[in-house]
């Protein structure tokens, strides 16, 4: 692994953003630790014996995710654009297929049952949309249709299929990523305000049309009623305190639905306390700030916008999950990147991070070729 070596792995290690890669591995390690802690509660209950099946699956998913991250990080920017185009189309088609043959859970159809695991195609919309929107907004070629309008047209089929499932949380996360990218691209405040008004109107429609969304919003603003999941989540944090009750010693987790996925942060709070919860926040903050700085220093506008958009998607998803667990936002049903159990979410964030590492790799020969007029890599 030393700089003088000319092997494949050494070339990758010394050209990739090592600090970001190590941060992701630390988050994955914490996720596996919490999967072991949450598995007995997710597979059993207060009076039924649980097992570690969820933890064993998560180990397999983590290995696959690392392979996705590593292989994707080897791509060149043009290859990233091509792969994102293919996956975005497949994700739209898969999300549309879910409406007819998908598995229904809690009133929503979001998953395709593949036998060995269930796939949620909509998870892959965020990273691929960020790449394609960046390609549109950074394209210097003139066009009759404004670039922001093209990005919104690209977003339209994703929003339509997500609202049909319905998956309101993913819809608004995707909208926030789009708005952030338009802001990074220099869209005027006037248009940003108009888009904000449109998003607010869409939020009002979602609250009016979907009963479960209305129920969650009303619970959040109720002075005393918090809802079962959030109430148990807050109990878990209270029980854990600063240092936690210790690995495997948590009790509130056995009465908390979705403890291994949407509320995995509460398991960290109960068993490992404020220390590990704070460490998770610090790791996400470090990763987000580092990626945004890398985006600002990128050599062209596509790399800047794509890296910033992907970093924003990761940061927003992490913030929303932790905020819901601590009753700072209405319940959304969103996973914690790299940490929550589940294959679809883990594979999607691995793809996100693989894209980021690929776009940020230092390629001296390609940069020299660009300067000499050889074209973009």
Angle at CA of residue 107, ends 115 and 44, nearest 5°: 60
Residue 112, strand partner residues: 119
Per-residue pLDDT of the chain in tens (377 residues, 90 and over written 9): 666 666 777 788 888 999 999 999 999 999 999 999 999 888 776 656 678 888 999 999 999 999 999 999 999 999 999 999 999 999 999 999 998 887 766 556 788 887 777 889 999 999 999 999 999 999 988 888 989 899 999 999 999 999 888 888 898 899 999 999 999 998 888 777 877 787 778 778 777 777 767 777 777 776 666 677 888 999 999 999 999 999 988 888 888 888 888 899 999 999 999 999 999 999 999 999 999 999 999 989 999 999 999 999 999 999 999 999 998 888 877 899 999 988 899 999 999 999 999 999 876 555 545 555 545 54
Nearest 10 degrees: Cα torsion 192, 195, 196, 199? -160
Q: Is the pTM of this model over 0.75?
A: yes
The predicted pLDDT at position 61 comes to 95
Q: Which helix (H) or strand (E) holds 111?
A: strand 108-113
Q: Burial letters for 106-124: b for 16+ Cβ neighbours within 10 Å, e otherwise?
A: eebbbbbeeeeebbbbbbb
Pairing of strands 118-119, 103-105: unpaired
How many Å apart are CA 359 and CA 305, to the nearest integer? Answer: 11
């Amino acid at each position: 692994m030393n700089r003088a070596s000319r092997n494949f792995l050494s070339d990758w290690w010394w050209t990739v953003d090592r600090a970001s890669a190590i941060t992701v591995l630390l988050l994955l390690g914490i996720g596996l630790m919490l999967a072991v802690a949450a598995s007995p509660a997710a597979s059993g209950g207060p009076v039924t014996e649980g097992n570690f099946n969820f933890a064993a699956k998560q180990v397999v998913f983590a290995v696959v995710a690392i392979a996705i991250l590593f292989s994707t990080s080897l791509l060149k920017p043009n290859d990233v654009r091509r792969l994102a185009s293919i996956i975005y189309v497949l994700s739209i088609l898969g999300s549309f297929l879910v409406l007819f043959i998908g598995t229904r859970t809690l009133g929503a159809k979001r998953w395709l049952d593949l036998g060995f695991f269930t796939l949620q195609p909509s998870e892959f919309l965020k990273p691929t949309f960020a790449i394609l929107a960046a390609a549109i907004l950074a394209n210097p070629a003139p066009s009759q249709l404004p670039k922001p309008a093209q990005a919104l047209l690209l977003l339209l089929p994703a929003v339509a299929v997500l609202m049909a499932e319905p998956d309101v949380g993913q819809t608004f996360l995707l909208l926030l990523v789009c708005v952030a990218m338009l802001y990074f691209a220099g869209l005027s405040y006037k248009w940003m305000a108009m888009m904000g008004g449109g998003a607010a109107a869409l939020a009002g429609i979602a609250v009016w049309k979907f009963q479960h969304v209305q129920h969650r919003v009303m619970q959040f603003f109720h002075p005393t009623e918090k809802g079962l999941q959030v109430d148990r989540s807050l109990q878990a944090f209270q029980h854990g305190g600063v240092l936690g009750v210790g690995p495997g010693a948590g009790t509130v987790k056995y009465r908390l639905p979705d403890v291994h996925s949407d509320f995995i942060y509460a398991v960290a709070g109960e068993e490992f306390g404020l220390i590990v919860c704070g460490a998770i926040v610090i790791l996400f903050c470090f990763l987000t700030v580092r990626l945004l700085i890398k985006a600002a220093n990128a050599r062209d506008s596509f790399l800047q916008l794509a890296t910033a958009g992907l970093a924003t998607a990761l940061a927003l998803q992490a913030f929303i999950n932790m905020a819901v667990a601590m009753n700072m936002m209405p319940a959304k049903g969103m996973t914690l990147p790299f940490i929550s159990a589940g294959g679809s979410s883990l594979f999607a964030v691995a793809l996100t991070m693989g894209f980021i590492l690929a776009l940020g790799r230092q390629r001296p020969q390609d940069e020299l070729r660009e300067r000499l007029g050889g074209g973009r890599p």
